[in-house]
Amino acid sequence: MGSAEPKEPGRPDFFNEYWKRSRLCGQVGEDAIGEEIRVNGWVRRRRDLGGILFIELWDHSGLVQVVFNPDLKPDAPDVHRRGGDLRSEYCLAVRGKVTRRPEGTENPALATGKVEIVAEDFLLLSSSEPLPFEVGDATDKVDENLRLTYRYLDLRRERMQHNLRVRSKLYSFTRNYLESNAFVEIETPMLTKATPEGARDYLVPSRVNPGTFYALPQSPQLFKQILMISGFDRYYQIVKCFRDEDLRADRQPEFTQVDLEMSYIVEDDVMTMIEGYMKGLFKTILSEDIPTPFRRVDYWDAIDLYGSDKPDLRIPLELVDLGPVFREASFEPFRKILENGGVVRALPLPGGASLSRKEISDIEEKTKKWGASGLGVFQCKENDLKGPLVKFMNEEERDRLKTIGGLKDGDALFVVADSSRLKACTVLGTLRLELGKTRGLIDESAWKFLWVVHFPMFEWSEEERRWSAMHHPFTSPVLEQLDGMETSPGNILARAYDVVLNGNEVGGGSIRIHDSAVQRKVFSLLGIGEEQARERFGFFLDALSYGTPPHGGIALGVDRLAMLLCGGQSIRDVMAFPKTQKAQCLLSKAPDVVEDARLAELHIECIPVED
């Protein structure tokens, strides 16, 4: 703390060397006994025993007890008197001598619990208004809006101190790891061009170029690809990105990504790099050993087995295909669906035979909300198959159901039949998550990573009657399928990969198209005409045509990753100054109105909103 030169202590009425801490509060241990020290911090707890006053002084390192005892310091009577005026979160500098606490008064919960500082003098650095909520309180019972309004008090709480420090460690590990793997940190612009696909951009009017707008980046996608074209080989950045979406619970208008890109590589190189990263990160922050390589699951296998493209593998339930049971069965509705190319899928629930009629009907209601036209339910009680459909099945079909459905005595089986494989699986996947949570099937201590790979390249939008890119339009199709791209786009798989942790997509990436002819073909399939393509990202098509290396990369969602590492429920708890679901900062009151003159300078005006 400070330089090695001896310093003038300075005037005792100002904060200077005379008052500057010689130890952090949390580091006043037994080794300090007998030492004349100076500590700086906030009054946390305070006990006034009339004659003697105790305060716990806090800084980020911890708490230490300070005693104001006129008997021990008869030469400084006003110190005790002035101490009586101290209140919670007053900010102080204290000079005093460290002594051992009297026997029986130690506090084993504190690292400094065996000592106390006998105050010789103190300087009140600043007082505090009465607090809107208790800062020392460890619980999260305080209303979140109040916490966000007084964020500076909220951030003094141990949990928030911990969370933001973990996030900082995450950054530090990330950079060291990537730099030791030859990645170069390069900044891409924040004031950039509106992006073609995806969510809404935030726009920034240009004063110097009337009538035009910058966009804040949704991701540095095109710029990082251009850096590969520029020969930088391995790029990374921890970067703010922006999406003007209607906010769901776990979204923020600005969010942070670990963004990286590599040249002359294939999928394996990115995935191995990220596996090493996650292994190191979890070891560094949580001392957890994460096994690598991660399991890799094809998109359609993930849908078939877990009904999700970001399955939570902590839940020990898997979907099964009942096609073989009902293909030739006497129960017509299922047979018909199968004959017409539909599916009959099921989720077995061990122990589910004990579900009550009420519980079953609740589950039925939910699956309908999720989009199922109906839910078939079987329960196996005392080796007897029960359920409304049982009467339509013969002995052999019932046996086959038990075998294929993995249905043992005491279990239940939930069945969804639908013309859409994706729909049937997704409903059961949602049920899988729900049962995992409500029935306590999730191993909360587990960290289950996997890769989901081979996503479809294109999705058909019935509404818009056109194909759209499932990842983004710069993702490369699987090369062996290139020739068939125009004839059957629905079958083409993308060289895309998502990394999933405990049911959270924590990152996604792909090998990119590095051939401008292929890029044009993809645009054309997406219904982006030649002219439109030129206008939107002509500069990028140009760049592709000056010698582009094969390249690919990934972006990791830092907020979500930090949240998981902190065991939090909301990304707001790992951000210093988050916004609400109305995209407002309750602390600073942004966004706010602006003088008309300012808008005129920007060549814009507000349109009155109709009621």
Footprint on residues 248-267 left by its own copies (CB under 8 A) = 253-254, 256, 263-266
Q: Which long-range contacts (CB under 8 A, 24 or more apart) does 419-423 make?
A: 419/337, 419/340, 419/341, 419/342, 420/342, 420/343, 421/303, 421/304, 421/342, 421/343, 421/345, 422/303, 423/371, 423/372
Cβ distance to its own copies smaller for residue 316 or 549: 549
Backbone phi, then psi, for 274, in 5-degree steps?
-75, -35
Q: How far is the CB of 589 from its own copies (least distance, A)?
A: 6
Q: Does 609 bind its own copies (CB under 8 A)?
A: yes
Beta bridge partners of 413: 348, 378
Cβ neighbours of residue 189 under 8 Å, at least 6 residues apart?
A: 217, 223
Give dist(CA 80, CA 121) in Å, integer.
Answer: 9
Near its own copies by CB under 8 A, which window of 28-36, 68-76, 182-190, 564-572? 182-190
Chain-centre distance for alpha carbon 374: 34
Residue from 329, 401, 543, 571 touching its own copies (CB under 8 A): that is: 543
Cβ distance to its own copies smaller for residue 95 or 423: 95
Q: Does 172 bind its own copies (CB under 8 A)?
A: yes
Cβ burial of 507 (10 Å; 0-12, 13-18, 19+) is: buried
Q: How far is the CB of 398 from its own copies (least distance, A)?
A: 46
Residue from 82, 175, 421, 520 touching its own copies (CB under 8 A): that is: 175
Is residue 585 helix, strand or coil? strand
Cβ distance to its own copies smaller for residue 196 or 342: 196
Give dist(CA 24, CA 138) in Å, integer.
Answer: 22
Residue from 34, 102, 104, 547 touching its own copies (CB under 8 A): that is: 547
Q: How far is the CB of 460 from its own copies (least distance, A)?
A: 25
Q: Does 22 bind its own copies (CB under 8 A)?
A: no
Residue 162 has a CB neighbour count (10 Å cut-off) of 12
Residue from 9, 51, 529, 549 touching its own copies (CB under 8 A): that is: 549
Give dist(CA 414, CA 368) in Å, integer.
Answer: 13
Q: Does 125 bind its own copies (CB under 8 A)?
A: yes
Q: Does 159 bind its own copies (CB under 8 A)?
A: no
Near its own copies by CB under 8 A, which window of 239-247, 346-354, 357-365, 449-457? 239-247
Site string for its own copies, 183-202 (x = CB under 8 A): -xxxxxxxxxxx-----x-x
Footprint on residues 300-359 left by its own copies (CB under 8 A) = none
Cβ neighbours of residue 271 under 8 Å, at least 6 residues apart?
A: 293, 294, 296, 451, 497, 499
Give dist(CA 475, CA 512) in Å, integer.
Answer: 5
Cβ distance to its own copies smaller for residue 359 or 542: 542
Footprint on residues 462-481 left by its own copies (CB under 8 A) = 479-480
Footprint on residues 566-585 left by its own copies (CB under 8 A) = 575-577, 579, 582-585
Residue from 71, 85, 103, 129 touching its own copies (CB under 8 A): that is: 129
Residue from 64, 119, 222, 258 touching its own copies (CB under 8 A): that is: 222
Cβ distance to its own copies smaller for residue 69 or 188: 188
Footprint on residues 411-430 left by its own copies (CB under 8 A) = none
Cβ distance to its own copies smaller for residue 227 or 431: 227
Residue from 52, 203, 285, 390 touching its own copies (CB under 8 A): that is: 203
Footprint on residues 282-301 left by its own copies (CB under 8 A) = 293
Q: Does 118 bind its own copies (CB under 8 A)?
A: no
Q: Does 377 bind its own copies (CB under 8 A)?
A: no
Tokens of 334: 């299922």
Tokens of 512: 């990119």
Give dist(CA 350, CA 201) in Å, integer.
Answer: 47
Residue 233 identity: D
Cβ neighbours of residue 415 under 8 Å, at least 6 residues apart?
A: 322, 344, 345, 346, 375, 376, 377, 378, 389
Q: Does 587 bind its own copies (CB under 8 A)?
A: yes
Q: For the residues of 2-14, what is the DSSP string, one character each?
A: --SS------TTS
Q: How far is the CB of 598 from its own copies (least distance, A)?
A: 7
Backbone phi, then psi, for 376, in 5-degree steps?
-85, 135
Nearest CA among 56, 67, 66, 113 for reference residue 89? 56
Q: How far is the CB of 127 from its own copies (least distance, A)?
A: 7
Residue from 36, 137, 143, 179 touching its own copies (CB under 8 A): that is: 179
Nearest CA among 372, 374, 499 for reference residue 427? 372
Q: Does 597 bind its own copies (CB under 8 A)?
A: no
Q: Does 512 bind its own copies (CB under 8 A)?
A: no
Q: Give the residue carrying structure tokens 């964020």.
A: 151
Q: How far is the CB of 542 from its own copies (least distance, A)?
A: 8
Give dist(CA 29, CA 25) in Å, integer.
Answer: 9
Interface with its own copies (CB under 8 A), residue total: 135
Q: Does 378 bind its own copies (CB under 8 A)?
A: no
Q: How far is the CB of 99 from its own copies (least distance, A)?
A: 23
Give dist(CA 556, CA 507) in Å, integer.
Answer: 4
Q: How far is the CB of 211 from its own copies (least distance, A)?
A: 5
Q: Does 162 bind its own copies (CB under 8 A)?
A: no
Footprint on residues 25-64 left by its own copies (CB under 8 A) = 40, 42-43, 58-60
